[in-house]
Structure 1
Amino acid sequence: MRKSFFIQAKKLFGNPLTNAQSVGLFPSLPFREGEIVYSKNNRKSCIEQDFKGRLGYLQQFDLVSDDIVNLPIKVKQPDLYIIYLMQASGGIQFTNDQHIPIASLNKRRARYIYLPRGHYHLHLRPGTYQLFVCYFDVGIFDAGADTDFQFLQPLLEAHRQKSSTPLVSNDFMAGPVTEIYIRSLCKKLKKADVDSQIAIIFHLKELIKLSKRKIDRELETVTENEGMVKTVKTLIELGVEESGMRYDLSSLTDVLPLGEANLTLLFKKQFGMTPTQYKKRYLIEKAKVMLLSGETVISVADQLGFTHERSFYRLFKRITGKSPKD
């Protein structure tokens, strides 16, 4: 996918720094791979990370300023963006080239913004800001795939029609769960790697689903528990993808307002199994794919975090009724 969202930071933050000059500057949300540019001008600094995927483009900005700034933005082609304000010293505002407001965001909030080609501005008060921006091939919503995403339909239609008018969605919370999703995505970013390209679209899809649940919950079109249990399911999948058997389910209650007993009860009511059972089943489904690709049993067991090969054998047999060597 082509890069279309350009924050023109040079005028305010100066020329890009060399590696030696950037010592002491660190991105708050590091990408595993990708392009990174450091800029600094006295007490103002900017760290920009970019990763180009086949079906999605990711950007992350760490911005620090000691006074009010008005950052010029250039959009080279119409696109639909998801913009997350993960940390902030105050609210931010997007305006058009005539400084007419388009959208605002507060700390730990996010929203979808359709922007046609043109020039815009990002207004910041003095302080520190962490901005995560992603955009994707909206073709994934073609052929009726947008039916369950009514809040996105006006923006998708504006994109399809190449509308000359910016359009925004309702804003929604970007809390600890959203941060887990985004950090998991950033750890998967790897150039020239098929698995990474698949991971990008999978994680973007889950981020979009998560945003729908948050908007529905804030509009009270679904119950809080219903949305939360679906989030739990995805968090387990992300945890297994990252840590395998070592993923600790107790971490779920650290980011969700539910105790372990209630979480287990609600999850079982909706999915017919406990979170522990789902974790193990998801783990074995992942193992099946790895085995079918030609990996050895001992390699799969090791990659999935089993301390002993025999523990993997027992779990595989208990869930599938077969040996992993069959």
Structure 2
Amino acid sequence: MQKSLFIALEEHYTPTSNTSALRHILGVQLMQIATPSYFQNEQGDEALLQEFDGFLSYLTTLHRYGQQRNSIKLRIERGDLHAFYVLESAEPILLIKDHQQFELHPKRGCYCYLPQGEYLLEFPKGHTQLFSFYFRGKMFRKNHERHFNFLHELVEAFRNKSESAVQSIDFRIGPRTRVMIGRLLEHLRFIDLDTELFLHRQILELLKLSKEKIFEEYEKVYDGSILALQVREEIRRSIAIDGHEFRLDELPLLFKKSQQYLGRVYKAVFGHSLTQCRKDFLLELAQENLLKLSNSTQAAYACGFNSIQQFDKFFKNASGMTPTDYLIKTLGE
């Protein structure tokens, strides 16, 4: 596919064909189908870059050694879906675009939708090994992505040509992933007529393995239905105590998982969002206090609202009627 990712190594390093001067990145596994490009600078930092232009995907391997942290410019000329596997690094690699910043953690992989634009890759000091590939989101024809929940937001961003980058949840790089990447680097051959078929098959297998890793780490280990029930109970309990003052962004600290992930698991079990869950429990509390106190103002403050106007607006939006109308209707029945 057409190259759309350009790493500006030349701004920090000098290309060299004399590899005898290199000390830190020799002896690494190379991609057999691509000629390696070596770089070094006066500070003793080194880099090795390999790229392969496949028909359906574009592969990149980057080895880097640096005595200090440094940032390398990255230019993307077309929005695509990117996979990043940090095979070796002392600390997270940072991917930065304008106000957005994503962390690529050591021994973990993730997927990103990256729109056209200028980026920075910030590397920690020491050895770094990054394997990545990108492919057109059109590979997922309509509904073909339904089995890859962690890619839904990325595929939608690609289809809508979003100007904002999106990152998936990440997953552990285990022995199976390393073997699969090693096999891919070793067995790609120019002389093999089945190279494109082999590459496409291996990329699909990496996608499937990513899905399996995410299931094992996020869903199988902590059963989704149990987690969803615990989240629902926590929202109910918190609304009963704090009323309107309770915020959903308190949940990640309690469950040690992102709000995005909690919301996805909850919706898969109950069919509606965390926001709707909060609204439903808050409406129940409001109705209960209205019937108990028979006074909108007292009910509003009992539910944690700052004003009767705020309470009236919420109640009308959630139930379709005003608090007064609800009292008249309920007490009159």
Normalised-by-shorter TM-score class: 0.5 to 0.7
What is residue 181 of structure 1 aligned with on the other side? Answer: 180
One-letter amino acid matched to 2:83: I
Structure 2 CA distance for aligned equivalents of residues 124 and 20 of structure 1 = 22
Q: Please list, as runs of the form range in 1=range in 2, the aligned pairs for 1:1-326 lying within 5 A after superposition.
A: 1-14=1-14, 16-19=15-18, 25-26=25-26, 28-42=28-42, 43-96=44-97, 98=98, 100-191=99-190, 193-221=192-220
What is residue 285 of structure 1 aligned with on the other side? Answer: none
1:102 Cα offset (Å): 2.5
Structure 2 CA distance for aligned equivalents of residues 29 and 66 of structure 1 = 22
One-letter amino acid matched to 2:184: L
Structure 1 CA distance for aligned equivalents of residues 52 and 122 of structure 2 = 24
1:221 Cα offset (Å): 4.6
Structure 1 CA distance for aligned equivalents of residues 155 and 21 of structure 2 = 40
Structure 2 CA distance for aligned equivalents of residues 211 and 65 of structure 1 = 30
One-letter amino acid matched to 1:178: T
CA RMSD, 1 decimal: 2.0
What is residue 260 of structure 1 aligned with on the other side? Answer: none
What is residue 284 of structure 2 aligned with on the other side? Answer: none
What is residue 316 of structure 1 aligned with on the other side? Answer: none
One-letter amino acid matched to 1:181: M
Identity in percent = 30
Mean CA deviation greater in 65-74 or 131-140: 131-140
The structure with the largest alpha-carbon Rg is: 2
One-letter amino acid matched to 2:127: T
Q: C-alpha deviations, 1:92-151, integer Å up to 9, x for none?
A: 11111x3x3431022101110111010010112211100001112333310321111111
Distance 1:27 1:118, change over 3 A: farther
Structure 2 CA distance for aligned equivalents of residues 95 and 41 of structure 1 = 24
Q: C-alpha deviations, 1:186-215, integer Å up to 9, x for none?
A: 122123643111000000000000000111
Structure 2 CA distance for aligned equivalents of residues 146 and 194 of structure 1 = 29
Moved over 3 A (4+): 19-25, 221-224
Structure 1 CA distance for aligned equivalents of residues 221 and 105 of structure 2 = 24
Structure 2 runs not aligned, ≥5 long:
224-333
Structure 1 CA distance for aligned equivalents of residues 138 and 22 of structure 2 = 41
One-letter amino acid matched to 2:63: D
Distance 1:130 1:71, change over 3 A: same
Q: C-alpha deviations, 1:222-269, integer Å up to 9, x for none?
A: 799xxxxxxxxxxxxxxxxxxxxxxxxxxxxxxxxxxxxxxxxxxxxx
Structure 2 CA distance for aligned equivalents of residues 134 and 81 of structure 1 = 6
Q: Is the 8 A contact 1:54 1:197 kept in 2?
A: yes
1:29 Cα offset (Å): 2.9
Structure 2 CA distance for aligned equivalents of residues 154 and 191 of structure 1 = 35
